[in-house]
Amino acid sequence: MESAKSDGRIISGQLFTAFDEETKGTRPSERYYGILTSKGEVKTEYSCVSNATEPSQAWLEELYPDCESDLDWMVKNFDNPYLQEKFANRDMDGSLCSFQQYLYDRWATCPPVARIPGDFVPVESHVVYAKKAAQTKCWSQRLADKYSDRGAISKPNVSHLTDRKAPSSHSTRKGGSVVSSEVTPLPDRFAAKEPTPIAHKVPRTLQIYWINLDSSNDRRAAMENMFAKLGETKPPTLTLQVTRVPAVTTYDVKAMQANGTLAVEAMLIDACSEACPEHHARGELLYTELACSLSHLRAIELAVSQGNPPLALIMEDDVEIYPEFGTDLEKLLEQAPAGWSALQMSTVNTKAILQLASSATVFQPRETHFYGTGSYIIAQSAMERLRDRYATRHFARKPWLPGAGSLQAEGILFGALVEGTVYTSTHFYFNVMEFPTTVHVMSNSSEWYAVSSVAWQTNFMQRHRGRLLPTNPAFGTPERLLKSSFLAMTTLVCRNNTGFDGESRSIAASIRALTPYNFTWAVYVIIADASEDGNCPGLESFLELRRPNVRMFYRVSPGRFSKWVYYTEDVEQFANYDYLMVFDADMGLSTFPWAEYFRRYEDYASKWGFAPVTGSVRNRSPFYPLKADWWTRCNRNRIRFIETDLVEQWFAMLSGNFATWYLRRVVDTGIIMEQRTLGVDWGVDSTWCGAAAEWANREAGCLLIPIDMYHGDTRSLHQDIVFHQNGEHLTNLWWERLPAWMRVSQVWLGSFFQDHMLGCSPCGLEERYHMPIDLRSIVPVVPTNLPDNISHHNVQALDSASGSAYTTQLDRKGIVEDRIVDSGKCLPVQPVSEP
């Protein structure tokens, strides 16, 4: 869909097409996705492009009838043999909805924001709003009429997922033959031991105060049922005294206003007619927001009046407590920092959740973007401080923050305590119940609605429930690095240029740097001329290549080659090592901080289990989250590791047992022979995360540790149009033969993580590092901001912004409905400035 006239610029509009993204942005047609008009002409910068969102389709056809959308093009060209191959095993049946589902998946999800000229996306905090008619629609009457020959139109599938967890397959050698068996994955010999049950020397009574509106009967029933079950699982030495606190209502707030017992430096309003941050910027605050804060103060004052306990747990009525909390409570309090005033036990910000999950400590100082007052333990002195501070019920704005956002619950509660004494738990003992919000109320006439990633957060915290394990020292060299055995494999193309010299020196430096550890090296030297087999001038000067633990293999390949053809000559050997490392010759292994890398790896393994595939980030990559500078912005700099659905093959560390199982399976499909014929190595890294999840019987198979590994990028292999055509064909073969594994990395293989619009999105971005397939159509993607109508290079503004995104359109009947999709929390929407 690109004309020869294209010069590689982004030439139009606000939306990209989604067809040629699988080449990972390595040539202009795949980087910028230029589109043709229906007459075969290149669209201009004043023209348009579209994906399958119904609003943008309608806008496209009305204002630019000469333009052709992705959907139109797919319908018209479905019988094209190239597309038939590309659509194989991707749930394409020729119906309109299957076309839209394909585009839906390639874009990670159809965002609630219709990215068309004129829409503005304001930014604030992490509460996200969208205009109601900007939702993607697959079932509109307009499209049904237009494509009536395509059969009935139905809503896109929410999930393609079946139960894809399967027992692992390992192999052993007996008498020289390979015996395969379906068994549980081999245990990790470095795994932390299960914690010894804590002996409760002194019985403890924990007072719990939970806030609930009298009208919220469903929430009350859920909470009472949860506390009943918790009482059955708690340790015998722990007594729970549970008290329901009737929440303050908006009628109570208005009565206090009327009788002069309440003073607040804001104009109180009943509901948001615009996106709520717009109201906060004007100094307006919802009655429900203030009622939320007053409810917390009521609970705290009740605790003080009922015996003034040394500490209390304050909760909202949409929060679940896991049984582990009662078991670990004593140890948790023992490890709390000295002088703490409040321990925030849950947050509703995705970046914060990822940061906390990767922490090496039990508690972290609370940061401004750790939003949420759903559950927290508060000390006696802090309760008395808040009681005295707000005894007159006078609530003043923070003078250094504009608007009324600082008058939400977190500013009133945590912001009034002694600075540096509020901490957040890095272990998830609490989770969110999915109820509609009772705090951020939209008026019936508003064209906005709230969206959130609560479904993803609930899934993540369920899978990463709190566990207090013995902690490893944060210094020294990790035992796993010292005692594991490694097989490191790379290829070196023999040639007479500076690139060859640089790669040779890099390999030699890596061998020297990793001498203290148990590494075996396999270097495949690729020679173009068969007459020179076994001889590569220049290598004789590197003494490191003559060491006993270094194996040199010479292979002849006059043209392009796939390294996996050579790596899989003996897949059974990998099981003899703890780890297989594959790396490009120009990767800077010698300067990489291996001790810190393995400390983070060990922290993950001790908390959440063994990751079969692990990778790092580098100075350059077509995928933004695999670039080192991605992790320096938008409150990402303290995320020490994350689960992911793609680890690139320029550097990866695989479990030895998994490597044998996985690569044997790949060889059996005939893919390696296809790679030999085509001379392309694509697809291995697109499938090993899905394979690792299956092998380890876990939801996420890959781990990304965002430490920068230098990449020289010497480009030893020339990549031209034939190379990319072969790569696209090979990708289709992977989809044909191993579709389940390919589907896991589908978000990464699409346009999404190469989109210049990616910045500090508050919803839908961080969640897609690893997102279960059944959540991909549920959690919306909300851009932080929109670029201008000429190009997508307005990235600086995106990366300096953070928080909520808002957009709009009417529904297809022109009627605005009141829809709220939120976590039901006291969600803050105050302005923040992220680095």
CA separation for the pair 98, 102 (Å, rounded): 6
Question: Percent of the chain, pLDDT > 90?
Answer: 50
Residue with tokens 């680890």: 647
Closest C-alpha to 113, from 806, 822, 594: 806
Mean pLDDT of the chain: 78
Q: First and final CA of the chain: distance in angstroms?
A: 38
CA–CA gap between residue 591 and residue 505 (Å, rounded): 13
> Could you give the CA distance from residue 434 to residue 429 in angstroms, rounded to a whole number?
17
Lowest mean per-residue pLDDT among 33-42, 56-65, 74-83, 505-514: 33-42
Query: Could you give the angle at which helices 250-259 and 287-305 cross, rounded to 10 degrees?
Result: 90
Model pLDDT for residues 568-586, shown as the tens digit of each residue: 999 999 999 999 999 999 9
Element (H, E) at 246: strand 238-246
Q: Please state the rounded mean pLDDT for residues 422-444.
A: 88
pLDDT digits (tens, 9 = 90+) for 696-748: 999 999 999 999 999 887 665 666 778 888 888 899 899 999 999 999 998 88
Q: What is the DSSP string of 287-311?
A: HHHHHHHHHHHHHHHHHHHTT--SE
26 to 710, 727, 793: CA distances (angstroms): 19, 11, 18
Q: What confidence tens digit (pLDDT) does each residue in 148-158 have?
A: 776 544 433 33
Q: Who contacts 329 (Cβ-Cβ below 8 Å, separation ≥6)?
A: 204, 206, 238
**Backbone phi, then psi, for 763, in 5-degree steps?**
-150, 125
Q: What is the mean pLDDT of residues 126-145?
A: 58
Pick from 29-33, 140-144, 479-483, 627-631: least confident: 29-33
> What pLDDT is attached to residue 153?
45
Contact of 738 with 608, CB cutoff 8 Å: no
What is the average per-residue pLDDT within 758-771? 84
User: In the 3-class helix/strand/coil scheme, how is 766-815 assigned residue by residue?
Assistant: HHHCCCCHHHCCCCCCECCCCCCCCCCCCHHHHHHCCCCCCCCCCCCCCC
Q: Give the Å distances, CA to CA, from 295 to 247, 254, 318, 372, 627.
A: 5, 14, 14, 14, 45
Model confidence at 638, in pLDDT bands (50, 70, 90)? very high
pTM exceeding 0.75: yes
Contact by Cβ (8 Å): 470, 828: no
Of 757, 755, 715, 749, give the one whose Cα is nearest residue 732.
749
How far is Cα 458 from Cα 461, in angstroms, rounded to an integer? 5
Q: What is the pLDDT of residue 755?
A: 67
Q: Which domains does the chain have, with CATH numbers?
A: 205-464 (3.90.550), 479-754+764-775 (3.90.550.10)
pLDDT at 28 over 70: no
pLDDT at 60 over 60: no
Q: pLDDT tens across 305-323, in order? A: 998 999 999 999 999 999 9
Greater confidence (805 vs 550) lies with 550
Q: How far apart are CA 614 and CA 607, in angstroms?
A: 16
Q: Token digits for 534?
A: 């076994």
Q: What is the predicted pLDDT for the residue at 720?
A: 75
| Residues contacting residue 174 through CB under 8 Å, at least 6 positions apart | none
Comparison of pLDDT for 249 and 40, the residue scoring more: 249
- Which contacts of 564-571 are long-range, i.e. CB under 8 A and separated by 24 or more positions? 564/663, 564/666, 564/672, 564/675, 564/681, 564/684, 565/672, 565/675, 565/676, 566/491, 566/524, 567/489, 567/524, 567/663, 568/663, 568/666, 568/667, 568/672, 571/659, 571/660, 571/663, 571/664, 571/667
Q: Look at residue 122 and give its three-state secondary structure.
A: coil
| Range of weakest confidence among 84-88, 117-121, 125-129 | 117-121
Is the pLDDT reported for residue 292 higher than 50?
A: yes
**Mean local confidence (pLDDT), 39-63:** 46
Nearest to 826 by CA among 421, 294, 246: 294
- Between 408 and 782, the more confident residue is 408
**How do residues 767-818 score in pLDDT, each as one tens digit?**
999 999 888 777 776 655 443 333 332 322 222 222 222 222 223 233 222 2
- Find the helix or strand (DSSP H, E) in which 130 lies: strand 128-131
Asked whether 526 and 561 are in contact (CB, 8 A), the reply is: yes
> What is the pLDDT averaged over residues 190-216?
79
Residue 497, classified by CB atoms within 10 Å of its CB into exposed (0-12), middle (13-18) or buried (19+), is exposed
- Structure token pair of residue 264: 């607040």
- Lookup result for tokens 């990235």: 795
Which of the 8 DSSP states describes residue 277?
H
- Residue 720 has phi, psi (to 5 degrees) of -120, -170
Instruction: Look at residues 184, 160, 260, 36 and name the one whose alpha carbon lies nearest to residue 775.
Output: 160
